[in-house]
Amino acid sequence: MAAERLRRHRHPLDAPFPTAAPADNTVGATTTTVYTFGDDLYAAMLDAIAGARDHVFFETYIWKGDDVGHRFRDALEAAAARGVEVYVVYDAFANLVVPRSFFRLDTRIHVLRFPWVRAGALVSPLRASGRDHRKLLVVDDELGFVGGYNIGSLYARHWRDTHVRLAGPAVWELRNGFVDFWNRWRTPALPVLPDVGSTSWLPQLRAARNSPSDLVFPIRNVYLDAIDRATSHVQITQAYFIPDREILAALLDAAARGVDVRVLVPERSNHVVADWLARGHYGTLLRGGVRIFLYADAMIHAKTATVDGRWSTVGTANIDRLSLTGNYEINLEIVDAGVAATLEEVFAMDLTNARELTRAAWEARPTLHKVGERLVSPLAPFL
């Protein structure tokens, strides 16, 4: 904690960074739009809420009580006032620093405050300790948004993140994820949401949802399957990259068979412990032929990947234990060359703000860093 405070003072993550305009692709009858700048994303989300006619499903991990947070609260309350059914989910633990008064929304809004202490924490910690780390918005089952962006002014302009909007029948994937979570965790005072089923089937665009209460963790398998299929290249962008043994092995195996494996991570993230744990894998990755790129002077929070220009994922899950086997998460899995090309263009853009970590530079890192990595290594099973 002391190191983190000193680091933030000396190296604030506030430098400008490159962004791209929202980019559209068509997958079946659904249009996807990739966002790389918070202001662009928030404008689209607020516009969708303003146009809602029937219902709004809004779920977020962090919801700051700042200017941006108030804009979303006002938009949701305005929608409820005009007769739209509004359902809100937020994580209690992630918002402990936000005044509870901020979350006293219009009484016409149905609010599920995901508890930070739940029954069974002592008996089954894996099932009961996971946070609701998801960030999604569904409007009238016509528009859906999912990705890494939380809600707040910091994320609007100072963090590089990635979100995707769906317009069309595949929005059901996000609606279904919200409904299942709501009905699983609602209190008796909250209404049951109907499970409407899907009238269309789009196997190349699916949502994978982790549910620790049910010990269901498909996102990890989605990554493993895609990496195992790679024959050309793998591009991964992660805010907190702490791969487990199987994912580490899959990346090394891919590199060993000639696949160009590249991982982009923050040079300094907002969590020093996560950084040191991630660095504990750098030596193994570099010796195995995996290329590591460090995003400079700003926080990159995206959770995206592409494989062979055909497969992509965008969502809320980091490649770490918390996300892959602990938290409630949701990632889109998209098999489409157009979406993959868009995300690879974003990856190339991000590399212009990054430097490659060479094996020689890594081995010459300061002794203090090596000590820090060893000291925090016992925390790896928890992060």
Q: What does pLDDT average to over the chain? A: 93
**Which amino acid type is present at position 77?**
E
The helix (H) or strand (E) run that includes residue 266 is: strand 260-266
In this prediction, residues 120-136 reach a mean pLDDT of: 75
Q: Which of 135, 161, 275, 281 is catalytic?
A: 135
Q: Which of 64, 132, 301, 350 is catalytic?
A: 301
Tally of CB atoms within 10 A around 110: 19
In this prediction, residues 216-244 reach a mean pLDDT of: 97
When pLDDT is cut at 50, 70 and 90, the band that residue 203 belongs to is very high
Q: Residue 376: what pLDDT? A: 64
DSSP letters spanning 20-74: ---EEEEETTEEEEEE-SHHHHHHHHHHHHHT-SSEEEEEES-B-SSHHHHHHHH
pLDDT digits (tens, 9 = 90+) for 31-77: 999 999 999 999 999 999 999 999 999 999 999 999 999 999 999 99
67 catalytic? Reply is no
Does the pLDDT of residue 354 top 60, yes or no?
yes
The helix (H) or strand (E) run that includes residue 261 is: strand 260-266
DSSP letters spanning 177-188: HHHHHHHHH--T
Domains of the chain, CATH where assigned: 15-382 (3.30.870.10)
Q: Residue 383: what pLDDT? A: 54
Q: Cα separation of 74 and 113, whole Å?
A: 18
Residues 6 or more apart in contact with residue 82 via CB below 8 angstroms: none
Distances from the Cα of 373 to the Cα of 117, 242, 299, 319, 368, angstroms = 30, 12, 20, 18, 9
Global confidence as pTM: 0.94
260 catalytic? Reply is no
Q: Cα separation of 255 and 238, whole Å?
A: 18
Q: Which of 140, 244, 260, 297 is catalytic?
A: 140
In this prediction, residues 207-232 reach a mean pLDDT of: 96
When pLDDT is cut at 50, 70 and 90, the band that residue 117 belongs to is confident
301 catalytic? Reply is yes
CA-nearest of 121, 180, 135 to 323 is 135
Residue 353 token pair = 């703000």
Q: Which of 133, 161, 275, 281 is catalytic?
A: 133
In this prediction, residues 77-88 reach a mean pLDDT of: 98
Find the distance separating the first CA and the last CA of the chain, reported in whole Å: 16
Which range has the worst mean pLDDT, 214-218, 260-264, 302-306? 214-218
When pLDDT is cut at 50, 70 and 90, the band that residue 122 belongs to is low
Strands 85-91 vs 30-35: parallel, antiparallel or unpaired: unpaired
370 catalytic? Reply is no
Quote the distance between the C-alpha of residue 249 and its chain's center: 23
Q: Which of 281, 303, 320, 336 is catalytic?
A: 303
Q: Residue 276: what pLDDT? A: 82
Q: Residue 118: what pLDDT? A: 72
135 catalytic? Reply is yes
Q: What percent of the chain has pLDDT over 70?
A: 91
